[in-house]
Amino acid sequence: MLARLDEIDGVAESRVDWTGTRVLVTLSADADKPRVETEVEGTLGEGARVLDERATREVLESYRKGEAWMRSGETLKLSRFEAGVLAKKHGTAAAAEIGLDEAKTQKLVALIEAELDRAFERAHAEGGIDALGGEIAAAGERIVEASGAFLDAEQREALSAYIERMHAARGR
């Protein structure tokens, strides 16, 4: 998304906050502001809007204070890090609940990390935060299916139940 914004004539650079919900677009000196605003809103899609003056000041202040505003490519790097953190947390918890040994726990954590990484990458490519829920759900299904290489049917069923509880907890 940010790469597409950066291609708009008159955009000097674009950044997104860590939540993926606010975009900061810096215009080039010679930019046609109304045209650029219209193109940016169109690129971001339904619901996108230019902030009012107060909200714009708040966004700029957070950027100047050094809060995380990432450029194209940096967001995917952050998501890959998050995939590793989530995989370790949930893979270890699921493995303990299921009663897996260390070798199977490591396989499960690696599988979860790979699938979450894939889900985040697809969400980045297909619409950002709005696409993430569906991608995470699909990743859960792929995890259970692929775990058949090292888990028996009962363990896979327990893993599936764990994943369903995690989806429910995040309000899918």
User: In the predicted model, what is the mean pLDDT of the chain?
Assistant: 89
Which of 70-79, 101-110, 129-138 is predicted most confidently?
A: 101-110
DSSP code per residue over 1-29: -HHHHHTSTTEEEEEEETTSS-EEEEEPT
Per-residue confidence band for 109, with pLDDT thresholds at 50, 70 and 90: very high
Per-residue confidence band for 13, with pLDDT thresholds at 50, 70 and 90: very high
pLDDT of residue 80: 81
Whether the per-residue pLDDT at 107 is higher than 50: the answer is: yes
Q: Which residues are 26's β-sheet partners?
A: 13
Whether the per-residue pLDDT at 172 is higher than 60: the answer is: no
Q: How many CB atoms lie within 10 A of CB 79?
A: 19
Whether the per-residue pLDDT at 71 is higher than 70: the answer is: yes
- Mean pLDDT, range 66-90, rounded to an integer: 83
Listed in sequence order, the DSSP H helices in the chain are: 2-6, 33-44, 53-64, 74-98, 102-126, 129-146, 153-169
Higher pLDDT, 30 or 134: 30
Q: How far is 114 from 127, CA to CA, in rounded Å?
A: 20
pLDDT of residue 130: 65
Higher pLDDT, 171 or 107: 107
In this prediction, what percent of the chain has a pLDDT beyond 70? 96
Angle between helices 102-126 and 74-98 (to 10 degrees): 150
Q: How many CB atoms lie within 10 A of CB 124?
A: 22
